Structure 1
Amino acid sequence: MNRLWKSFLSSLVAVALLVTMLPVSPAKADSIYFQFTDFSTVQSSPTVVNTNTVDLRGSFSDVSSGSITYKVERLVNGNVVASTNGGITPSIIGNTFFFAGIQLFEGLNRITVLGTSGNGSGGIVEGVSYVSYGNVPVITSVQLANGTPLTEGQPVVVTTANPSLMVKATNAQDVLINGVAMFNGGAGTFVLSDLNLQLGLNKLEIVSRNGDKSFTVNRELVYFKENTPTPYNVFAGATQLDGKPIVAPITGQVITGKILFKTATAPSTPNPTIDLELINEAGNSQVLNTTVQKGTVNQDWTEFTFTSTTNLTAGTSGKYQLWVKSNSYDGSTANFPVEFTVRSANAPYITDLRQLYDVAFNGTTATFGSSTRFSNNVAVSQVPLWIAVDTMNFDLSAGNTTSISAKVNGVAAGSSFSATAFTTSDGKQRIYRIDAMPQGEIELSFTVTKGAESNTVIRTFQYNPISSIQVTNTYNGAVYYDINPLGSITGKLLNFRASDIASFRFSLNGVTSDVSGFVTAATGAFTIPITQLVFGSNELVLSGTANGVAVTTTLVIYRFSDKQPTVSGIKPVPYTVDPINDSESKRLFSDPDRKFIPGSSAFSYTTSQKKADILFTVTNLANLIIKVDGVDYATATVNTADNVMTVTPADLSKLFIEPSTSPIQKTYNLRLFGLALPVSGAKSITIISQVGTESVSQTITITRELPPYELLSPKLPQEAVINQNFLNVSIRAEGADRIVIGKDNMIKSVNDEIFRYELQGLKAGVNKIKFTVYRGTEKLNGEFSVNYAADNSIGAQFKAAIPKAGKLSAFKGEITVSFPKNTFLRPANINPGQDVKTIDLFDSQKILFGIADRTDGRTVKVYNAVGEYDGANAKDGTFSTVSFSDFGAAVIRPTTHFGFASNLFWIDPGYVEGTIQTGYSFQQGKQPYSTSNEFFSRPLTRWLETSNSGEITLKYDSKIVNTAANTLSIWRYYNGRWENMGGTINVGSKTITAPINGFGYYVVMQIRYSFTDIIGHEYARNSLELMYGRGIMNSKNNNEFGVYDNITRGEFAQLLVKMYQIPLEYNPNDMTFDDVVPVLGLSPFWDYRYIETAVRKGIIRGKGPRQFLPNEPLTREEAAVMIARAGNLVKDGKEDQKRDRAALQKSFTDANLIDGYALSSVLAVNKAKFIEGLPNTTTGTAKPTFRFDPKSNLKRADAAIIAERVMRKNKLL
């Protein structure tokens, strides 16, 4: 036994000795050594974060404080697939530790804190925590530039069409709003300063993206323009109608909504009366009255809530317009269309169109990584363009079909457009890859068809193909630390042909290599591995030749150690506004117009700008010093306790800390703003970043060159060819006393040294323009040439004054206006039909003519913004875009039953401000979408009219056959509505002529479809369609003309005024008849203005004292009296009742029934063959006899025939 026990002890001692000889290994982490404040220690339940850096806090015991470090490991399925050792020194206070800014991997991270045991054994001990980093591009904040937050489901009212938005999106690489990319300001801040809104409710889809991840939120803005009452949040029951939705059939629902008016000057102003009119595609209408309650009031707008008193039904598939109308509220009248589409339970329709990204395809099947809404006015600059068609009640696999077509600048694109159809993986949804498009304004039509039903959605946008090299994983001025180096460059070749890829080159710090082999030909994507960057700045140049044009992208990126101070991203941008006053985010973060031209050496630039902003980033510093030309200019310091930077108070007017600054990461983005540059010569700016005894500096040199002059407009070569007979010339010439074009001095701006002049009377073809710049005794000659195309296409413009002869023609005779001699312009009468109170006449104002897009009325779509300012900065020489307007398209659309039959012409003489006492200020005629003066909200005070009525002649579509000419008429859009002006046709010249005494839009329209009761009438169809087409007679409603109805006294009075083209003369405050109420819309047949005009001109008389009985039927003898009086057919005082009755007895068997007062009139109109007798069928004699039927009521069909006879004899057709 003793021997066995001794043997066991010997073996135990040997094992103990062996164990002590093994290497030291870490002890298992537990509460004995490390405890974590913020993070989980359980792998199955990690702490979830959404930032790629975290601060690690905790406490320790029995560990040497100087030995504490960490490592981060990425775990996948429990296995370590990547790891980094800590490079950050902890902050130790007592027995607590703090690591700032630990970098995480995407996914599950195991963070291990290690240290040496303090018990003397020297063993390594550790603690483990688990953190999951999702890298989701979360949107945490959406707000306007003034700080107003946008929250889900809460529309915010704005009074500008182009508000600035700021979005905070952690981890996002890019953010898009309705498909428009925002500017990345760094640190998760994105800015969009040119968002285009339509009047009314605008739904915003905000998408942040990061690789294959995306995050989407929705917000709503309501754009309210001062002179345009605007409804929003319009509901039928629980179904929202604004925002152009597609909805299920609506049956018996109450309409509710809100409407914004300009706040009234008097608080006691009564609430407006709101009426609703629903119109479907067939022209059927339904009118609803509402109750109105006042809501929120502020200085800009007052909100009213309206509720219909009757229910609305829209039960059939189709497009609808719900017009929200009001009486005048403090001078503003609502007339706003809310458009929506109804689809039955089984009808197919397109719910949305989405632009796809990260698309992969196999055969005809495509998959994608993310998508954004494809809206009107998105910017498109590259193909292929992938579009998904989202649908309801539609399935490709069930035999349903889709189609796509394109127009460019309003004309079918033809072979210049091509698209390839794909499907989603389930085979049910259509995806289009658009492979080729011509440059210009593109209109894409997407149609889905299921059996006999279909639905089409149209998108309009500008396509400007730009070949470029896009880098996606880094950016100019990016900073990389050794802990997280840049290992490759990834990106995409945009608009490179397959044959162009071979030209792709990459240069790193001057060493160039062929990298075409790294490009995927099908997509243009590339990934280029790079060697280690040098410390400091590194210049990366990617270059190639695309479509014969050299394309280059140059980036300067930086490599730094993790602890030294740095200066990076230094670059100049144009100065626009002091950032401390920049509530609308107008300051620039880039140089889009290349105002600063890079020099041959790094950080050197040349410019003609007077001021500059300098953007730069500094890190890991305690002190910032900025020197200009070697002299201290501005300073700032960093508080080491909280890393907050403070600008020296005296320098707050020079140096601005951008919101994208991140004190936690010790990274500061700054702007040296409004730096004045010399008249000529160089200015050097040195940025010095200091901490302790270490400092880093970077110098940028800007050389200002003073050219003798700079031609801002026309911008050549872009505007070498123009399509207007006038030209806005803009020349910047610093130090110049004057500039002369021909014999005229250009006008010098009071804000800057820009000279402007409108050159008129250009001739078709090349025009060589000479000018002279004067500086003291120095004289410098210059010249440029433009080619006036004189093409009759959309965008053509013509400007001229009314000549003494009174006749003016434009666009090769497509439009002609003529006026009597001594016709002048005067301010438009704001009370039409009443006397002009003050007559101011002008003879030098030019009239602008333009050919407009019939879709929404734009004459100009892109223009040189001469004379416009963005803050204090002139926009001359930059191009502004007039975007497609949904609201403009809605109000310019032809009325029911009619369609366009000619070009749409815009005529604008401008307007005059001031009086003869204060002096006049003339405003030239402008395009209909000019800022703050859009055609649909332009008040009458901003119009001129002619002192005499004239004639306008328009050419209509030459392919319209002569037999259809009776359905044509000239229409005018003015003061918010279309008005039928009638007209006289000349089928030989394919023209129509109508009266004119005012301006706006003019166009020829044609009856596209008639009424059932007109088509079925046995003898009056042509006359009825003629009278309706010329605007002489109105329909009973949108479904029925009312051909068998008796014509009323009121309608016949109106018919005569229109037939004889008598100018309206009325005063709603001084009416002749008590029963003719001065309210529009009381009858579909007559308008009080025409009745009052007729009585003032002696055409009609009352049925009693101050009684007209406008709704009573009109007899045939009463009609004869009115016609005779209007046409002066009976000489006053020459009536002889006995003689006239005897004469009539020879013609009519019932002549004795004609009242005495009507005898002469009946005789006259019968002699003129305006009203003829009716044959007697029961006389029993061989010779036919006729009767007049003086007491029978006149039918509307017969009134149309009579009106045609009168107008033809008087040559009014």
Structure 2
Amino acid sequence: MKPAFTKKTAQVTVLALMLSIMLPVLAFAATGFSNLTFQNNSLNATVSSTTYLDSNVGDAVYVNVYGNSGALLSVTPAVYSNTYSSSQGWSYQIPSLSVNGYEGPLTVTTTVYKAGVVDPSESATTTVSYTSNNNGGSTGGGGGGGGGGTISGATMSVPSDGSIDAYMLQNALTSNNEVVLNLSGDLALIPAKALTSFTNDTTKTLRITNSKGTYILPISVLNLSDLATALGTTVDELIIKVSISAPSADDVASITSAATALGATEIATPVDFNLVGLAPDSKTQTIDLGSNYVSRILPLTKAADSTRSTGVVFDTTTKKLSFVPSLINTADTGSTATIKRNSNSIYTAIELNKNFPDSQGHWAQGYIELLANKLVVDGVTDTTFEPERNITRAEFAALVVRSLGLEQAAGSSSFNDVASGDWFAGVVGAATKAKIIDGYEDSTFRPNQPIKREELAAMVVRALNYAGAKPTVTSERQNELLAKYTDANKIVWAQQEVATAIEAGIIDGITDNTIAPTNQATRAQSAAMLKRLLTKANFIN
């Protein structure tokens, strides 16, 4: 009897061990689907969890929809419905997911977070057929495994209060270079903790958009640690607040008056773009973008001619409009202005048709009129430009600052011949801060001295460097570029800058074999170099 009893005891023990091994699998079985339907070119899905969990995971379940190329079409949180059944587990539902106009099979995947980390064992994938002409289809079941493929895009819907789930955003960014945040209202409250893993990745971008405009925010431009410190909080508590809103009625009226004073036509509805850090105590901190030009897109109210149109920034203090780097684009879906700037403000777009009788037939006529229409250059009077007049160092510094869309820097100057009350003090300050200008050994800037061509080339090259568009020129290439010009030996100090300007296509010779580095530059030459600078930096069409 004893051997038989021992044998049966061993069998029971083995069975118990087998059950103990199997039970965790049953207790944490893969999530599945039920009532997943497609109808009227939209995905209207109800997802029920069949995961046997010891406790529910709250709101940490997400549903991803992928196209047949692996592109992530939509991400949404599954809403815990507070129901449980022994056959299905904890039940979750998802709202309607829009995948309008997409044809081909779709893959639906769940992702479950535990303690903020994706648990690959708690996932399921199923594939359904879907075409733009069908009126319905369905699938059921679903087995383990996650969605696959190379992800190229994702869209998240943001409610009117701007709230964004950190896990949901982190999940989308993990698989996508660009995540689109579709705003129901005017703001997005982005949890900084969702971005911390991506701040060193220059490919990761948030595209925040509503009917008023779009803000394209590279995550790499955000210094989250410094921002949190400035606000007296932690990165985990920090919020990046992006708003795309209508300006006040008074500002809108002032913009119209400013456009009228210029003789311009408004071709966009003004939009106030803002970007700040937000602490739990509601304290805010403006985010310094440094020299990073961040794009914002404005829809235009009409088809626009890029030679006569430009994006502009509205100064709420002076009530004036100024040029801002911008590309005018026209497509079947409508015209837009892509504004590029490293600070935030109110932006709109205008159209202008400016010409100067004294520049008709001049070799620089096209440059002059193009930049006058974009508010980069001014006439000496309303009807004269004086293209062959010399330009001073202060005047050209002002044009470079304007071309880069920089804010003027008030305050004391480092140059002993630039007083705070001088008209050029703000632009000299801005150009100095951006390392576009420097002075002489005696600490003077000599603002009223006519600028020489080599000085002009140096300023333009430094502006290219600030805009991130300066080409690299080796010493061998420098010698090769300058060897063409018989008067290159007359360059006093800016050999490298002049060679770089030649390489960038910004400066050329007075003749085929002379560069005239010590000649005083003219207003026409300045306009030509500024136009080439803006084109090289991709700041105008």
Normalised TM-score (structure 1): 0.25
Residue 534 of structure 2: SS of its match in structure 1? helix
Choose the corresponding residue for 1:993, options 338, 343, 352.
338
Contact 2:453–2:520 (CA under 8 A) maintained in structure 1: yes
Structure 2 matches for 1:192-341, cutoff 5 A?
none
1:751-766 equivalences in 2 (<5 Å): 761=159
Task: Evaluate the alpha carbon distance shift between residue 761 and residue 1036 of structure 1 in structure 2; reply closer, same or farther with a 3 A threshold.
Answer: same
Structure with higher Rg: it is 1
Q: Secondary structure at the match of 1:920?
A: coil
Cα distance in 2 for partners of 1:910, 1:1206 equals: 31
Higher RCO structure (Cα 8 Å, ≥6 apart): 2
- The 2-side partners of 1:825 and 1:1028 are apart by 40
Q: Give the residue type in structure 2 aligned to 1:960.
A: A
Inter-partner Cα distance in structure 2 for 1:761 and 1:1164: 49
Deviation, structure 1 residue 1025: 3.1
Amino acid at match of 2:215: T
CA–CA separation in structure 2 for the residues paired with 1:850 and 1:1125? 35
- Between the two proteins, what is the percent identity of the paired residues? 18
Residue number in structure 1 paired with 2:393: 1049
Q: Which residue of 2 aligns with 1:90?
A: none
Quick one: structure 1 residues 1032 and 959, their matched pair in 2 at CA, closer, same or farther if it must change by over 3 Å?
closer
Counterpart-to-counterpart distance in 1, 2:444 and 2:386: 26
Q: Identify the structure with the greater strand proportion.
A: 1
How much does 1:1170 deviate?
1.6
Out of 297, 300, 306, the position equivalent to 1:956 is 300
Identify which of 185, 200, 219 aligns with 1:820. 219
2:426 aligns with 1089
Deviation at 1:824, TM superposition (A): 7.9
Greater share of helix residues, 1 or 2?
A: 2
Is 1:1068 the counterpart of 2:411 in the alignment?
A: yes
Q: C-alpha offsets along residues 727-767 of structure 1, whole Å, 9 cap, x if unaligned?
A: xxxxxxxxxxxxxxxxxxxxxxxxxxxxxxxxx8169xxxx
1:896–1:1047: structure 2 CA closer, same or farther, 3 Å change rule? same
The 8 Å contact of residues 970 and 992 in structure 1, kept in 2 or not, is answered as: no
Which residue identity does 2:425 align to in structure 1? Y
Q: Give the equivalent residue in structure 2 for 1:1102.
A: 439
Contact 1:857 1:892 in 2 (8 A): no
| 2:386 is aligned with 1:1020 | no
Do the aligned residues in 1 keep the contact of 2:242 with 2:275 (CA within 8 Å)?
yes
Contact 1:819 1:951 in 2 (8 A): no
Q: Partner residue of 2:514?
A: 1187
Specify the SS of the correspondent of 1:801.
Answer: strand
Q: Which residue of 2 aligns with 1:1207?
A: 534
Aligned equivalent of 2:286: 945
Letter in 2 for 1:1073: F
Structure 1 residue 1205: Cα displacement: 1.6
Cα distance in 2 for residues equivalent to 1:1115 and 1:762? 55
Contact 2:160 2:186 in 1 (8 A): no
Q: Taking structure 1 as reference, are residues 1173 and 762 closer, same or farther at Cα in structure 2, changes over 3 Å only? A: closer
Match of 1:1164, SS? Answer: helix
Structure 2 distance, partners of 1:906, 1:1123, is 30
2:456 to 1097, 1119, 1144: 1119
Distance between the aligned counterparts of 1:890 and 1:959, measured in 2? 19
| Shift of residue 1015, structure 1, vs aligned partner | 5.7
Distance 2:160 2:185 in 1: 11
SS of the residue corresponding to residue 495 of structure 2 reads helix
Q: Report the residue type matching 2:348 in the other structure.
A: V
- 1: CA distance, partners of 2:350 / 2:231: 34
Change (3 A) 1:1039 1:901: same
**Corresponding residue for residue 800 of structure 1:** 188
Task: Quote the Cα distance in structure 1 between the aligned partners of 2:272 and 2:494.
Answer: 47
- 8 Å Cα contact 2:241-2:277 kept in structure 1: no
For residue 1110 of structure 1, give the secondary structure of its aligned residue in structure 2. coil
Q: Distance in 2 between matches of 1:965 and 1:807?
A: 30
Cα distance in 2, alignment partners of residues 1005 and 1121 from structure 1: 31
Matched-pair contact (CA < 8 Å) for 1:852–1:906: yes
Deviation readout 1:319-376 (Å, 9 max, x if unpaired) = xxxxxxxxxxxxxxxxxxxxxxxxxxxxxxxxxxxxxxxxxxxxxxxxxxxxxxxxxx
Question: Secondary structure in 1 aligned to 2:314?
Answer: strand
Q: What is the CA–CA distance in structure 1 between the aligned matches of 2:532 and 2:349, rounded to whole Å? A: 23
Partner of 1:1147: 484
Report if aligned partners of 1:972, 1:981 keep a CA contact under 8 Å in 2. Answer: no
Preserved CA contact (<8 Å) 2:452 2:517: yes
Q: CA deviation at 1:1109?
A: 0.9
Cross-structure match for 1:984: 326
Contact preservation (8 Å) 1:1148, 1:1186:
yes
Deviation by residue 1:1018-1058 (Cα, 9 ceiling, x = unmatched): 23233223333444434445554443332211232343445
- Please give the secondary structure, in 2, of the residue aligned with 1:1092: helix
- Partners of 1:1196 and 1:800 lie apart in 2 by 45
Q: Which amino acid aligns with 2:187?
A: K
Partner of 1:233: none
- Change in Cα spacing, 1:845 to 1:1045, as seen in structure 2 (3 Å) is same
Tell me, what secondary structure is at the counterpart of 1:1157?
coil
Give the letter for the 1:1202 counterpart. M
SS at match of 2:428: helix
Alignment-derived partner of residue 1159 in structure 1: 495
Q: Deviations over 1:924-948 (max 9, x none)?
A: xxxxxxxxxxxxxxxxxxx863343
Q: Deviation at 1:1094?
A: 3.2
Partner of 1:849: 244
Q: Secondary structure at the match of 1:1201?
A: helix
For 1:1206 and 1:761, how far apart are their aligned partners in 2? 42
Q: Which amino acid aligns with 1:1095?
A: T
Q: Partners of 2:364 and 2:188 in 1: how far apart? A: 44
Distance 1:1028 1:819, change over 3 A: farther
In structure 1, C-alpha distance between the alignment counterparts of 2:488 and 2:500, rounded to whole Å: 14
Structure 2 contact 410–425 (Cα < 8 Å) conserved: no
Mapping 1:428-467, distance limit 5 Å: none
For 1:1012 and 1:1158, locate their aligned partners in 2 and report how far apart those are by CA, in whole Å: 33
Contact 1:1046 1:1194 in 2 (8 A): yes
Q: CA deviation at 1:900?
A: 0.9
Change over 3 Å in CA distance of 1:996–1:1100 after alignment to 2: closer
Q: Which runs of 5+ in 2 are unaligned?
A: 1-157, 162-182, 196-203
Whichever residue aligns with residue 1189 of structure 1, its letter is A
In 2, the alpha carbon distance for the partners of 1:906 and 1:1098 equals 29
Offset at residue 1095 of structure 1 (A): 3.5
- Quick one: which amino acid aligns to residue 347 of structure 2? Y
How many residues align? The count is 337
Amino acid at match of 2:214: I
What pairs up with 1:998-1013 in 2 under 5 angstroms?
A: 998-1007=343-352, 1009-1013=353-357
Secondary structure at the residue paired with 2:186?
A: strand
C-alpha spacing 1:953/1:1143, structure 2 compared with 1 (3 Å): closer
What amino acid maps onto 2:159 in structure 1?
A: G
For residue 899 of structure 1, the aligned residue among 242, 249, 265 is: 265
Letter in 1 for 2:263: H
Alignment of 1:700-739 (within 5 A): none
How far residue 1194 of structure 1 moved from its aligned partner, in angstroms, is: 1.2
